[in-house]
Every structure is written in C-alpha cells, then in structure tokens.
C-alpha cells in the first residue's frame, strides 16, 4: 500500500516535470542568487502531496518547498520534488524526484525517479534495492585510490576546517576522480547501483538524502555521518560508499591520509 502510493507520487511528479519540456517556466532565487526554485518544483510538490494525502491524510509530511506539515503520526514522508533544480533550470537531464517514508524515526521506503533518463530506484527496508525492477548492488572496489567518487557543494561557501573545497582538493591532488552531478539523491542512487564507489557532502538537508541513503544501505553499502557514526537524514554531513572503502574514505575526508608534496 505504501509502495503503491510512493510509486504513484513519483510517476505523477515525473510526468508533471516532463510536461514543461517544451514550455518556459518561472525561475526564482531563494536565499543567495544561485539557490533556485522554479514553478515546476512547486507544481511537482503539489501533485506528490495530493497523492499522499489521498491515501494517508493523517501522515506527517516534510517537503522542501512547503516545509513541515506536522501531524501526530508514526509515519513521515520526506520529499524533494526536484533534486537538482539548478540542472533542471538549465535543462540538464540530471535531476529527480526523491521521496522517503519514515516510520517511528526509521526510513522504511525510498524512491528516486529521474524522469529524463527514465530511471526509477526503489528501496524497501529489508527487501533490497532495485533500478527499474532489477536488483542492484554496490560496487566491489577495494581502495579509495582506485575509486570513482562523487560529491556536491552547498550554495554558499562553507569556510571551515576540512570544508568542501579542502576535501575535494585532497582527492584531486592524488588524481582520484571526483564527479559533481548536482543532485545528491542521484549521487546516492548511483552509489547504490555501483556507478560510483563513494559519495560525501558537507551540508545536505533531510529531503536530499532520505530516500537515497536507504537505497545505498539496501544495495549493500554503508552510510554514516562524517565522523563514521550511524547516519540520520537530519544531520548535514554524509559519507556513503560500497562499504568496503568506507573506513578509508572517512580517513581521507578527515584529512588523515598523508599528502604527497
């Protein structure tokens, strides 16, 4: 029942997003000039919430553009109507709808749908993860130096020790490929299906990672905060990997790997 609602919400939002393919849409800035929101984010959010409310009017909803619709419920839907809005606004087809369902504080269901590539990633706690109905699993790489990684950067510069640029530079100086796709939910989904071996980002919000982190765990990978502690979508820093390289990846992010001059 939950899964049907999730699938319907992802599909309806995807169709809404694609309906703007040939149409102009309004783009505005949130805080800072490059943190964008479009009328399509709002339109997709509206159909997702309507779909959820149709079946579960009493469930709590947390969604990026409309905020917290608090209800006294054990269930909470965590929604990013478009993750990768800057890509979407530039018609770069790397963006998705991301929806996670939490039960008593535990993520039990997550879906990430890229309507441009027609890729639907789904995870159910204890049931594994799929991409377009086929089981997926994380990669088998065994070292960070051999890995292909992905990261993201916040909209405003984070000036702190071991901040995003410093950590990024650490990998680039050693020739480790680090991609930047612009959608954290897709970054996580692509770790889950083995395209990337690891992902790290300093400042995410719950809606960016709620669905993706379950995908990684259910595909056999590992997700923690930047200190290596169990991950919660309510904290900002995240490290996700195939599991095998996880401890090493944490060391790199912390700056504990000796640097070549």
Residues near ligand IPD (CB under 6 A) are 80, 83-85, 152-154, 182-184, 201, 204, 208
Q: Which residues pair with 29 in a beta bridge?
A: 36
Closer CB to ligand IPD, residue 67 or residue 126? 67
Tell the smallest beta-carbon distance from residue 201 to ligand IPD (Å). Answer: 6
Interface with Ca ion (CB under 5 A), residue from 38, 40, 80, 122? 80
Q: Is 25 left (phi over 0), alpha (psi -120 to 50) or beta?
A: beta
Binding at 152: pick from ligand IPD, Ca ion, none (beta carbon under 5-8 Å per type): ligand IPD
Measured CA to CA, the distance from residue 120 to residue 114 in angstroms comes to 7
Closer CB to ligand IPD, residue 6 or residue 82? 82
Closer CB to Ca ion, residue 162 or residue 205? 205
Closer CB to Ca ion, residue 82 or residue 147? 82
Tell the smallest beta-carbon distance from residue 158 to Ca ion (Å). Answer: 16
Measured CA to CA, the distance from residue 62 to residue 92 in angstroms comes to 26
Question: Who contacts 146 (Cβ-Cβ below 8 Å, separation ≥6)?
Answer: none
Question: Who contacts 246 (Cβ-Cβ below 8 Å, separation ≥6)?
Answer: 198, 222, 224, 228, 239
Closer CB to Ca ion, residue 176 or residue 206? 206
The pair of structure tokens assigned to 31 is 């805080």
Question: Helix, strand, or coil here: 161?
Answer: coil
Max Cα distance, the chain (Å): 60
Binding at 221: pick from Ca ion, ligand IPD, none (beta carbon under 5-8 Å per type): none
Tell the smallest beta-carbon distance from residue 209 to ligand IPD (Å). Answer: 9
Tell the smallest beta-carbon distance from residue 83 to Ca ion (Å). Answer: 4
Binding at 153: pick from Ca ion, ligand IPD, none (beta carbon under 5-8 Å per type): ligand IPD
* Residue 187 near Ca ion by CB under 5 A: no
The pair of structure tokens assigned to 30 is 């949130």
The pair of structure tokens assigned to 85 is 């809005």
* Helix residue ranges, H only, the chain: 2-18, 39-55, 85-89, 164-173, 184-192, 206-218, 246-254
Interface with Ca ion (CB under 5 A), residue from 10, 56, 61, 83? 83
Tell the smallest beta-carbon distance from residue 72 to ligand IPD (Å). Answer: 28
Q: At what angle do helices 246-254 and 164-173 cross, to 10 degrees?
A: 110
Tell the smallest beta-carbon distance from residue 156 to Ca ion (Å). Answer: 15
**What is the total residue count of the chain?**
261
Site stretch for Ca ion (CB under 5 A), options 6-14, 74-82, 144-152, 220-228: 74-82
Tell the smallest beta-carbon distance from residue 249 to Ca ion (Å). Answer: 22
List of residues contacting Ca ion (CB under 5 A)? 64, 80, 82-83, 85, 208
């Amino acid at each position: 029942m939950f899964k049907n609602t999730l699938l319907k919400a992802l599909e309806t939002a995807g169709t809404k997003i694609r309906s703007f393919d040939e149409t102009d849409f309004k783009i505005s800035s949130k805080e800072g000039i490059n943190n964008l929101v479009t009328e399509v984010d709002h339109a997709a959010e509206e159909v997702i919430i309507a779909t959820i409310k149709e079946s579960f009017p009493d469930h709590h909803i947390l969604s990026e553009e409309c905020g917290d619709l608090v209800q006294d419920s054990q269930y909470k839907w965590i929604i990013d109507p478009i993750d990768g809005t800057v890509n979407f606004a530039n018609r770069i087809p790397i963006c998705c709808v991301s929806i996670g369902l939490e039960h008593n504080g535990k993520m039990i269901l997550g879906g990430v749908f890229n309507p441009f590539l027609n890729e639907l990633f789904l995870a159910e706690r204890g049931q594994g993860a799929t991409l377009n109905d086929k089981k997926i699993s994380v990669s088998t790489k065994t070292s960070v130096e051999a890995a292909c990684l992905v990261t993201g950067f916040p909209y405003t510069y984070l000036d702190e020790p071991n901040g995003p640029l410093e950590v990024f530079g650490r990998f680039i100086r050693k020739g480790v490929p680090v991609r930047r796709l612009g959608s954290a939910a897709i970054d996580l989904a692509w770790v889950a299906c083995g395209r990337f071996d690891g992902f790290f980002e300093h400042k995410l919000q719950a809606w960016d990672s709620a669905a993706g982190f379950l995908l990684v765990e259910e595909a056999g990978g590992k997700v923690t905060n930047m200190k290596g502690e169990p991950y919660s979508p309510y904290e900002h820093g995240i490290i996700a990997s195939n599991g095998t390289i996880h401890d090493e990846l944490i060391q790199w992010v912390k700056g504990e790997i000796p640097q070549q001059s």
